[in-house]
Amino acid sequence: MKKLLCFAVFAGCLVLALTACGGKDTGASTQKESTDTNSTDEAKTDTTSTEKKTLTKAGESLKDPNVGTVTAYSVKDASNKSLQIGDLKIMFKDAKVLTMSDLTDDYKATLEEAFGKKMNEVTFAQITYDIENVGSDEIKTWNGFETAVNSEGLQIDLRFNDTLGAANPAEMEILAGAKVPNNLVLVPVKKGESNVRIKAADVLKDANAKDFLTRGKEIKIDL
């Protein structure tokens, strides 16, 4: 069963479709975003604000009571990247390298469940994207991004995203002409990672359709 967390800070944006423990909405989409600080030093001290729920610059940091301290190592625009798999169009938005430290006990337990080992700090590449079914038929199943390869060639299974409650689709149906915004996938990386390759799942339609199966594709995202 998917373990949904209070995960607003992971997104680094105000539009995560995630729910908090117990099924309540995180409020991430309605929280007022604080004004950006003018320097990295000021950003690093901005860890007590309850209003700031987005990290837009490298060096910015905030505290989340459900995770710990979240610091942006890098923030890059990825809006020039897109991927099309059959009738599924994927439009990327941004890529952030985020480090979680001073972790809460609950979040440590969730990481141990996801990765099978105890962790006191973790760094993820967080890649956000929108999707659209540009065809005239319903997409019956799409499972988001399933596999990644880091810049050192290490292949990574991304199924842990479900355990962490990340908005990387699982068994999603997408109606003809429908758009589904504000998705994201998390990839474990090292600080300073230059890029990752992520591969999307196959796109499945009704078995009677000529193009009922379109194999997934991969794309490289700079970090």
**For residue range 113-171, what is the model confidence (pLDDT) as tens digits?**
999 999 999 999 999 999 999 999 999 999 999 999 998 899 999 999 999 999 999 99
| Percent of the chain clearing pLDDT 90 (strictly above) | 70
CATH number, domain with residue 111:
2.60.40
Residue 140 covered by a domain = yes
Q: Model pTM?
A: 0.78
* Three-class secondary structure of residue 159 per DSSP: coil
Q: Is residue 160 part of a domain?
A: yes
What per-residue confidence (pLDDT) applies to 52? Answer: 54
The yes-or-no verdict on residue 74 having pLDDT over 50 is: yes
- Is residue 1 one of the residues assigned to a domain? no
What is the residue range of 154's domain? 8-222
Overall domain count for the chain: 1
Is the model's pLDDT at 49 over the cut of 80?
Answer: no
pLDDT of residue 30: 32
- On whether the CB atoms of residues 6 and 64 are closer than 8 A, the answer is yes
